[in-house]
A and B are shown apart, each in its own frame.
Chain A
């Protein structure tokens, strides 16, 4: 079964850090470019970051540049998102998604809440 499973979400204070993980199974992880997409409560989807299949290229949406870092370990079939200097507006469900041509594979999401 093709599957992405996110973990690492939780409640964090403003200015704090979290590291999200996304474990892949059932498909050739190293062949897919991978994304993080987030969705604030009651709001729409917002693309956050993308990494190419071998990890040599990364891009970010402007609002997280310099604060978030996307990475992957193809040997462990795992995608990561290191989030630093978190703000209240980063509160959202964070989804990882796999791309061959578009966002073909999605995880169930992990909830990140930034609040004091």
Chain B
């Protein structure tokens, strides 16, 4: 089953802004948007946002999500060392009747 496309790695300086992208198609990202998850090394994933930039309780406002067409984006402002992690997008695919994930982006904070 086809997945979503994410850049393998992004590097940004401390306190700068990082924008991570996730490209799908009209059956998944373009239909209901994407969820974003953060996975710290050695830990399970944690949900950061879902659909139209909805953040679960306790998630910092430094994390914001958006969508343009078939591409979803996660913007992280004021980068901190603890933001260094793998970030995954995920979406329900109406054509596959399955959830699909992106391959993940490793964010390095310099």
A interface, CB within 8 angstroms of B: 35, 37, 44-47, 50, 59-62, 95, 97, 101-104, 106-109
Contact = CB atoms under 8 A, between A and B. Distances in A.
A59 B47 contact: no
Contacts of B37: 45, 103
Interface stretch (B9-17, B19-27, B101-109): B101-109
Interface residues of B, number: 23
B100 interface: yes
A76 B46 CA distance: 25
Contacts of B75: none
A102 B50 contact: yes
Main secondary structure of the interface of A (DSSP, over half): strand
B51 A102 contact: yes
B35 A102 contact: yes
A109 B46 CA distance: 13
B110 interface: no
A50 B46 contact: no
Q: Quick one: which of A37, A46, A103 has the most chain B CB within 10 A?
A: A103
Given A101-B50, A103-B35, A35 B99 contact: yes
A35 B51 CA distance: 18
Contact of A61 (B35, B54, B98): B98
A64 B91 CA distance: 19
B60 interface: no
Contact of B54 (A37, A59, A101): A101
A109 B90 contact: no
B1 A62 contact: yes
Nearest to A60: B98
